[in-house]
Structure 1
């Protein structure tokens, strides 16, 4: 059975939007970590906005990004959406139009490896609320952005998590790996 793993870049003040501010903190160690996460997955579950941004960029990156981009492009993508039509989904994607809880649970049954959720704030919050996120990997960067969309806005569902692991980078960024506290 697959696991839904949400990986999100965050600033110290909780901003996740337009993470161009991560650039100064990305190095070979970060690339190795990201490579390991991507190759531990056999599918991507993306919100519509994240999907559209990634679909516009990644198909042109195979020459510059090598096997990482090849893998990113080859993985099946699933996009829960009420506005995106299947014929608009061109980047190896299936648009999920049914109930999110049912669709996500079916994906977990269908896949044996991780199902990665990159960014996709609203989708991540919905999956957390439904109890479907198996791991929450917060890639925390030592920068205060000051404004922008936050992963956990006011009114986010109250849930308890336990710290399962950390991965610190020499640049000062750290991945905080949380798992639901009620699934010990």
Structure 2
């Protein structure tokens, strides 16, 4: 049985939109304000997470973001690992000639297909970005863990990871540690026994 992990870069006030500033949001670029040590340590955490994953799951916009920034052709341990992983993309249309190897579109009933994927994959299924998909997965009780790389900044506007949900979702803090000089990685697991 797979374990769906939402892995997000997030501000203190819960914003996940445009962390790198490449999408043109008026307050974008907030995650890039970290120092060099923070960036290096963050990259190590990301590589370790990818090495522990069995698959990637993302929405079409996040998939296209990775493709547009050259991830299919990048080199290095992290890029090589992401390229080798199976990638499942929730999309209303098929991926015509996917540019990133091992990519499959989930096009019909996303919730049902993700539930089936969770049964088929043995290990972690990492969800990068994909705010709308993350909301849907949380609403349907498919998320097992949240890994929130928290940047010490208040953005004040933009899409947030947490919005209205269908029900209360009890979470249990299972790990926390500082990354670099200013980032905090908070790991919460869905406490199904508490719901």
Q: 2:98, 2:72 → 1: CA distance?
A: 13
Verify the 8 A CA contact 2:42 2:180 in the aligned structure 1: no
1:150-169 equivalent positions in 2, closer than 5 A: 150-153=160-163, 155-157=164-166, 158-169=168-179
| Equivalent residue in structure 2 for 1:142, among 152, 161, 173 | 152
Deviations 1:128-154 (A, max 9, x none): 11111111111110011222111113x
Runs of 4+ in 1 over 2 A off after TM superposition: 25-29, 155-158
The alignment status of 1:59 with 2:72, answered yes or no, reads yes
Gaps of 5+ in 1: none
- Matched residues, number: 179
- DSSP 3-state at the match of 1:133: coil
Which residue is equivalent to 1:14? 14
Residue segments in structure 2 that go unaligned for 5+ positions in a row: 21-29
Q: Equivalents in 2 of 1:19, 1:134: separation in Å?
A: 24
SS at match of 2:122: coil
Higher helix proportion (structure 1 or 2): 1
How far off is 1:88 after superposition? Answer: 4.9
RMSD: 1.7
Give the counterpart of 1:37 among 43, 49, 56: 49
Q: Quote the residue 1:90 is aligned against.
A: 99
| Mapped contact 1:16–1:148 kept (Cα < 8 A) | yes
